[in-house]
Amino acid sequence: SEPGARHRPHKRPRVRGRPVRPALRHGGRPRRDERLRREAQAGVRGKIVNETKIRVRYAEIDAQGHVNNATYLSYFEVGRVEWLRATGQSYREMEKRGRGLVVVEALLHYLRPAYFDDELTLRTELADLGKASLRFEYEVLRDENVLVKGHTRHACVDLTTGKPVRMPVELLELRTCQGPTDSRPSW
């Protein structure tokens, strides 16, 4: 460095003005656990994971004999709706109030194929919850083997104007939730 230049200490990531401390393992070194970091940044307290069983239909098979790539996006949609239902939320009620969650990003990692009549387990987890957006992460499993991993990011929009709006309070309250709740939304 140049003479007279100020040394800048490493800045820790901050969430709402508070430093996010990395998880520590033996020796005091930071853990490389991406999920813990994301949960800390999102402010989500405890995991809210929903599992949904899906049976592969013949119509979902492509010419190569396995589930068509695009079908997994439909599976992810099923997972989102069931996740909302399991947490006491109602997508239909949110739409009645003029709000919607539109997909702005989708990413899938195909690890193994699924075939006709396989019984799959779809795990859906809220990974990030912001003021006007959220992110779900998914795993599609067959017999505890992960076939597909992915995520979708959604923006909360006014259905009339298409412009971004704040998340409903009931969704934002999930930041402090320890798991599924029985409360019904008032949106």
DSSP codes of every residue in 40-81: HHHT--S--EEEEEEEPPGGGB-TTSSB-TTHHHHHHHHHHH
Q: How confident is the model at residue 156 (pLDDT cuts 50, 70, 90)?
A: very high
Q: Is the pLDDT of residue 163 over 60?
A: yes
For residue 84, the enclosing domain spans 34-176
Average pLDDT over residues 170-182: 61
Looking at the domain assignment, is residue 120 inside a domain? yes
Contact criterion met (CB below 8 Å) for 158 and 168: no
Identify the pLDDT of residue 150: 98
Looking at the domain assignment, is residue 28 inside a domain? no
Looking at the domain assignment, is residue 1 inside a domain? no
What percentage of the chain carries pLDDT values higher than 90?
Answer: 57
Q: What are the pLDDT digits (tens) for 41-89?
A: 555 445 789 999 999 999 999 999 999 999 999 999 999 999 999 988 8
Looking at the domain assignment, is residue 21 inside a domain? no
CATH number of 169's domain: 3.10.129.10
- Look at strands 119-129 and 99-110 and give their pairing: unpaired
Closest CA to 128 of 111, 105, 110: 105
- Look at strands 49-55 and 14-15 and give their pairing: unpaired
Looking at the domain assignment, is residue 62 inside a domain? yes
Looking at the domain assignment, is residue 23 inside a domain? no
Identify the pLDDT of residue 91: 87
Q: What are the pLDDT digits (tens) for 80-116?
A: 999 999 988 888 988 999 999 999 999 999 999 999 9
Average confidence score pLDDT of the chain: 80
Number of domains in the chain: 1
Helix, strand or coil for residue 39? Answer: helix
Identify the pLDDT of residue 10: 54
